[in-house]
């Protein structure tokens, strides 16, 4: 039986990332933009998905640098896309809020997550194909973190390095992370990724 993500994978286009730029524009200018018709159709159908919105900025050398990434590992309505676009732009604690001056250099990436599977062990996943979620308890405290499927590959991390960094990312700082592998609960997943630069966004709507 087709799922929500199956439906979306067959209907995806630039409207997803364009809607994120719309939401960012609303945040910066306080001017309300109409919902794009294709997105409204998905909302009317009640389509839901786990999702992340990532903002990248192109530096003077043409390299893409992370500027913000926020989302949900659980299914949320498509309407939440704009919310996460704004949250990623102004409330990713690793970065200062995005400014209007930066917008022309931005690239938006939307990741729609699917095919969640329990991993048999911390190495039971494929770099470049799977995202990874780790969870564990230590001294009564719960820890968890995730990497999207592209993170390990883009940062030249092998599986061991990625898992150890995830343990650190979760907030564990007390010793050798490899000693925790035996207590890790690991989930792998896949994603459909969309990408749109600001210049291509403007081409969709020359009035911008």
Cβ pair 145, 54 in contact under 8 A: no
Kindly write down the DSSP assignment for every residue of 21-72, as one continuous string.
Answer: HHHHHHHHH----PPPHHHHHHHHTT-EEEEEEEEEEE-TTS-EEEEEEEEE
Each residue's pLDDT tens digit in the chain (208 positions)? 455 666 665 566 789 999 999 999 999 999 999 999 889 988 999 989 999 999 999 999 999 999 999 999 999 999 999 999 999 999 999 999 999 999 999 999 999 999 999 999 999 999 999 999 999 999 999 999 999 999 999 999 999 999 999 999 999 988 899 999 999 999 999 999 999 999 999 998 766 5
For position 6, what pLDDT does the model report?
Answer: 62
For position 175, what pLDDT does the model report?
Answer: 87
For position 2, what pLDDT does the model report?
Answer: 53
For position 13, what pLDDT does the model report?
Answer: 77
Q: Give the chain's domains with CATH numbers.
A: 4-114+192-204 (3.30.700.20), 116-189 (3.30.1490.150)
């Amino acid at each position: 039986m087709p799922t929500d993500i199956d439906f979306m994978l067959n209907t995806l286009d630039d409207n997803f990332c364009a809607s994120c730029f719309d939401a960012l524009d609303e945040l910066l200018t306080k001017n309300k933009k109409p919902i794009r018709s294709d997105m409204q159709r998905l909302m009317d159908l009640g389509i839901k998905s786990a999702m992340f919105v990532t903002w990248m900025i192109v530096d003077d050398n043409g390299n893409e640098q992370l500027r913000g990434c926020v989302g949900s590992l659980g299914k949320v309505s498509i309407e939440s896309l704009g919310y996460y676009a704004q949250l990623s732009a102004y409330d990713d604690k690793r970065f200062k809020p995005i400014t209007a001056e930066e917008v022309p250099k931005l690239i938006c990436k939307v990741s729609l997550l699917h095919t969640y599977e329990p991993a048999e062990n911390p190495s039971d996943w494929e770099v470049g194909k799977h995202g990874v979620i780790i969870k564990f308890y230590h001294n009564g405290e719960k820890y968890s973190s995730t990497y999207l499927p592209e993170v390990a590959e883009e940062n030249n991390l092998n599986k061991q390095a990625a898992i150890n960094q995830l343990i650190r990312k979760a907030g564990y700082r007390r010793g050798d992370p490899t000693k925790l592998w035996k207590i890790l609960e690991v989930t792998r997943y896949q994603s459909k990724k969309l990408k749109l630069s600001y210049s291509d966004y403007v081409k969709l709507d020359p009035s911008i």
